Amino acid sequence: MWNNQNNRGGGNQNQPMWRGQPVAYNQMTAVESNSLIQKVMWFTSFSILAAAAGVYAGVNILKHDEYRFGGGSSILWFILEIGLMIGAYALRDRPGINFVMLYGFTFVTGITIAPLMKILVVSGNSGIILQALMITGALTFGLGFYAWTTKKDFSGWAPYLFVAVLGLLIVMVLNIFLHSTFLYSVIMYAGVLIFSFYLIFDIQRAKKVQNTVGNAIAITIGVYLDILNIFLFVIQILMSFQSRD
């Protein structure tokens, strides 16, 4: 993801890349790092609540036939989601509007995944949603704890993770035409694995960047997207188990 902070505080000029843009590295004290990760935890928690509200709103919108997967309204919501995400990054240092953009973005992500949630509920598979939430929550807690306490530095993994995501997208597109059950299984498990490593990577950013609200919002967007993608891939894995029964 993007982070356009300047390199203040005498950081290394050969900066690693964070989702496409250089991160400003600084010597952070433990207190500053803890304060920043606390901001990220609060912002992420509120982002998840906003997404849940978006799902609720989306399910109500789904009463209208024109809002469905692949429908015109669905595509418009997706475009709005991308626009809000870009706006949240661009305006992350603007007090007030930064939170409007952040929670507007996460709210709309809830609306865009609402069709899937409704399909599961209507088909009698609402238990899959609860299971996916529990698994995602456990993974997030475990990986977050590991990322914050380990002495291993994952900052150099950025290019490898980017290539992994790019490869995953290519395989997903290919499988639209191949309809391979094996490839579909590989995609699901690889998705969970890749975004689990991305979660570790994003959380560790809080150890290296300045303790500002703007940086906290930028990290929050990355962490939120990691959690969301893990959740969606876990749902697909559980659905595949269900189809085998």
Q: pLDDT value at position 74?
A: 78
Which amino acid, 37?
Answer: I
Nearest CA-CA partner of 103 in 233, 230, 220, 181: 220
Q: pLDDT value at position 73?
A: 74
Residue 17 has pLDDT above 70, yes or no: no
3-state SS, residue 18: strand
Give the 3-state secondary structure of 196-241.
HHHHHHHHHHHHCCCCCHHHHHHHHHHHHHHHHHHHHHHHHHHHHH
H helix runs in 62-125, sequence order: 72-90, 97-122
Q: pLDDT value at position 16?
A: 32
Contacts for 93 with CB less than 8 Å, ≥ 6 apart = 212, 213, 214
Predicted confidence band of residue 33 (pLDDT cuts 50, 70, 90): confident
**pLDDT tens-digit series, residues 192-227:** 999 999 999 999 999 999 999 999 999 999 999 999
Nearest CA-CA partner of 21 in 45, 39, 43, 4: 4
**Mean pLDDT computed over 62-74:** 59
Residue 2 has pLDDT above 90, yes or no: no
Q: pLDDT value at position 21?
A: 42
Residue 149 has pLDDT above 90, yes or no: yes
C-alpha torsion sign, points 155, 157, 158, 159: positive
Which amino acid, 166?
Answer: L
For residues 51 and 105, the answer to whether their CB atoms sit within 8 Å is: no
Q: Which residues pair with 21 in a beta bridge?
A: 18
**pLDDT tens-digit series, residues 79-121:** 999 999 999 999 999 999 999 999 999 999 999 999 899 899 9
Percent of the chain exceeding pLDDT 90 equals: 73
Look over the chain and give the mean of its residue pLDDT values, rounded to a whole number: 87
3-7, 96-100, 219-223, 236-240: least confidently modelled range: 3-7
Indicate the Cα dihedral angle 166, 225, 81, 47, nearest 10°. 180
Measured between its terminal Cα atoms, the distance across the chain in Å is 39
Q: How far is CA 47 from CA 22, 42, 78, 99, 102, in A?
A: 25, 8, 17, 10, 8
**Residue 154 vs residue 11, higher pLDDT:** 154
